Chain A
C-alpha cells in the first residue's frame, strides 16, 4: 500500500476537471467568485469559454447550473460547501434535484476545512440537509484516487450529484488497481472484530487508528464510505455482521450524517454491536485548525484506537 501523503483533494479535482474539459467542450464550470479557492484559475485561463462566473451569488449559481444543464451542458457548479448547501439549498432542492438536472455540485473546502475562519465557513450540515432531499446523491471522497475517480464517473452520472472536498493534502489509501463506483464503499483494510467506518478526509484518521491497533494485535476493518447517498448497505452489513465494535467517524455534525445512517441500519437490522458515533457535537464549537478541531472532538487516530479498545473489552 502506498501510504504517501498526496495532494489536496481540491487540487486533484481541479486538475481532473481541466483534463476532462479539454477533451469535452460540453463541460462547463460555474463559479461564485470561487475559482481561486476552487483551484480553477488554470481552468479559467486555459478554457475561458467553459467557465461561467456569476460572482458571489450562490442561489443564482445553482439556478444557472440548472439552466445550462437543461440545454445539454455537463455542468459543475463549484462553490464553498458551506454557502452552496445552505444559502442555495432551495435552488438545489427545486432546480436541480426535483427538476432532475444531472448537475454536479462541488462543495469545496467542506467540513471544517476553513478552520480558524470559523463557523460561518464550516459545512457540517451538508450531509444532513441533502440526505433529506429526494433525488440527489452525495459523495465525499477520501483521497486523491477517489477524488479523481468520482469526477470521471460523474461525467456519465445521469442524476443530480453533490461532491464535497477538503483542502488539505490527504494520505493515499488505496492499492493499485482499486475500482471505484459511486454508491459502492471501499474496504481499505479487511479486519475482523473492529469496524471503523469513515467518509472523506476522516478515512485517513480511521486508517491511522487501524495502524495503531495493528501494533497491538488488533486487526480493524476500515471502510471508506465515500458515497453517503445512496448508501452501500450491503458492504456495511457484511462488515458489521460478525464484528463486535463499530465506530463511525465524520467531519460533520453527529446529527444526520454517516453515524446516524449506521445507527438506523444496525437498529433496524437488530445487529448487536458496541457502537459509537464520532463527529462534531451540538455545541458552540471550538475554534482551531481543521486537524486541531477534529482531534479535539475525539477524532485523533490515537483517540479512535483507544475508543476501539475500550469498546472491545466491554
Chain B
C-alpha cells in the first residue's frame, strides 16, 4: 500500500478505535493510539494475513503481547474483513467475543493475550517451528515498553538468540508511559538498545508513527543473518489527539461526549489536510 493510503488508513483507524471505545464505554485509548500506525503498516503492507489464509499454518504471524491495546487490533482486523463492523460494535457487551483483550474466539486473533510478558515466548515458539520446517515465514511480536519489566520477556530473548531466529521481528511500542506513570520512574528499562544487543538481537530505533519509515524498516530483510531483530519504535501515547498525548490518565480513560466530539473533529481536520 502506498504511503498516502497508509496515512489515510491511520487517521481512519484512529477515528474507529476512539468510536468503539466511546460507544462501549471501556478501552485502552492512549496505548491503542500509540501502536495503531505500526499495526496499520503490518496488516496493510507486510503480513499478508487475510481471512482466506488465516486458517493455514503457512503464513506470517502477528502476536500482540500488549493485549490491552486490542481496540487498535480489532479496528484493523475489521477493516481487513475478518469480521463485520456491526459485530465489532458489540464490544464489551454481555456474551460478545469482543472483549478488552485479544481472544481467539475473534476471527483473525492469533493468540490470547492480556497478562503481560507472555507474547514473546509464544512468538519464539512460532518462529522456531518455521525454522524447523525451513519455511520462509516471519513472526512479528508487538510488545509494550511497560511489560519489559517482566522477566519472561528476557527468558524468551535468550531462546530467540540461541536458535538464531532471524525470522523473528520484535517491535517495542516505546511510548514511555505505563499505567502509573513514566516507565523510567516506575522501573527503569533503559538502555533498551544495549540490553537487546547484549541478548543477541539486531537493534534499530525507528519512528513508530512514520508509516513510510515503518514500511521500509519492517519490510526489510533481517538486519543481520542469524539474529532476531528488534525495532524500538518511538511513539507517543495518545498520538493524534492533542489533549490525550502523553497524558498518563488516558491509559484507560474513556472520552466524555464532548471529548469524543473534539477528538473526531481533530481527526477530521487531519483527514481534510491529508486529502488536501
Contacts and interface: CB of A to CB of B under 8 A. Distances in A.
A60 B162 CA distance: 13
B112 A57 contact: no
B128 A67 contact: yes
B132 A63 contact: no
**SS class, residues of chain B in contact with chain A:** helix
B156 interface: yes
B113 interface: yes
Contacts of B85: none
Nearest to A100: B104
A95 B124 contact: no
A65 B128 CA distance: 10
Interface string B100-126: 000110000011111100111111111
B164 interface: no
Nearest to B129: A71
Interface residues of B, number: 33
Interface in A1-53: 28, 49, 52
A64 interface: yes
Contacts of B130: 71
A67 B123 CA distance: 6
Interface in B71-111: 103-104, 110-111
Nearest to B112: A99
B207 interface: no
A59 B152 CA distance: 6
Nearest to B114: A94
B128 A63 contact: no
Most buried by A among B114, B119, B128: B128
Contact of B126 (A28, A67, A94): A67
Nearest to B110: A70
Interface of A: 28, 49, 52, 54-55, 57, 59-60, 62-73, 90-91, 94-95, 98-100
29 contacts: A28-B129, A28-B132, A52-B128, A57-B159, A59-B121, A59-B151, A59-B155, A63-B118, A63-B120, A63-B122, A63-B152, A64-B156, A65-B125, A67-B123, A67-B127, A67-B128, A67-B129, A68-B126, A68-B129, A70-B126, A71-B126, A73-B132, A90-B118, A94-B112, A94-B113, A95-B118, A95-B121, A98-B103, A99-B111
Interface of B: 57, 61, 103-104, 110-115, 118-130, 132, 139, 151-152, 155-156, 158-159, 162-163
